[in-house]
Amino acid sequence: MDENRWFWNLIQNDFKTGNTDLEGCMRLLEKMQIPFDEDHLKHIFRRTLDKHLGDVISMDDFRAIYRALVHRPEYEELFRAYSSDGVILTDTQLIKFLVKEQFQTEVDETTALEIIMKYEPIDEVRKKRQMSFEGFIRYMRSDECSIFKIQHRTIYQDMNQPLCDYFISSSHNTYLIADQLMGPSHLWGYTSALLKGCRCLEIDCWDGTNNEPIVYHGHTLTSKIPFRSVIHVIDKYAFMSSAYPLVLSLENHCSPKQQEVMAHYLKSILGDKLLSSPIGGEVDMTRLPSPEALKFKVLIKNKKAGTIEESMLRMYDDDTGETEELSDSEFLSEDEDTDDTLPLHRSKSSTKRRADGRSSAPPQKKPKVKRGKIALALSDLVVYTKSQKFVSFEHSLMNQQCYENNSIGEAQARKLVRHSAKDFISHTTRFITRIYPKGTRMSSSNYNPQEFWNVGCQMVALNFQTPGTQMELQDGKFLDNGGCGYVLKPDFLRDRNTTFTPQNVGRYSKPMSLSIRLISGHQLPPSSLSKTNKADPKVQIEIFGVPEDQARKKSSVVKSNALSPKWNETFSFNIQVPELAMIRFCVEDEVSLVNNEFLGQFTLPVMSLNTGYRNIPLLSKEGIKLESASLFAHIWYY
Q: What residues are labeled active site?
A: 172, 217
Q: Is 136 exposed, middle or buried (0-12, 13-18, 19+ CB in 10 A)?
A: buried
CA distances to 147, 325, 396 from 439, in Å = 38, 20, 25
CB 162 within 8 A of CB 633: no
DSSP codes, 24-43:
HHHHHHHHTT----HHHHHH
Cα radius of gyration (the chain): 28
Phi, psi of 614 (to 5 degrees): -135, 145
Q: Are strands 433-436 and 459-460 parallel, antiparallel or unpaired?
A: parallel
Rounded CA separation 621/600 (Å):
7
Rounded CA separation 122/9 (Å):
11
| Three-point CA angle 55, 61, 65, nearest 5° | 100
Closest CA to 444 of 243, 205, 175: 175
Dihedral sign computed on CA atoms, order 198, 413, 157, 475: positive
Q: Is 307 exposed, middle or buried (0-12, 13-18, 19+ CB in 10 A)?
A: middle
| Three-point CA angle 540, 541, 544, nearest 5° | 125
Phi, psi of 38 (to 5 degrees): -60, -40
Closest CA to 537 of 513, 517, 562: 562
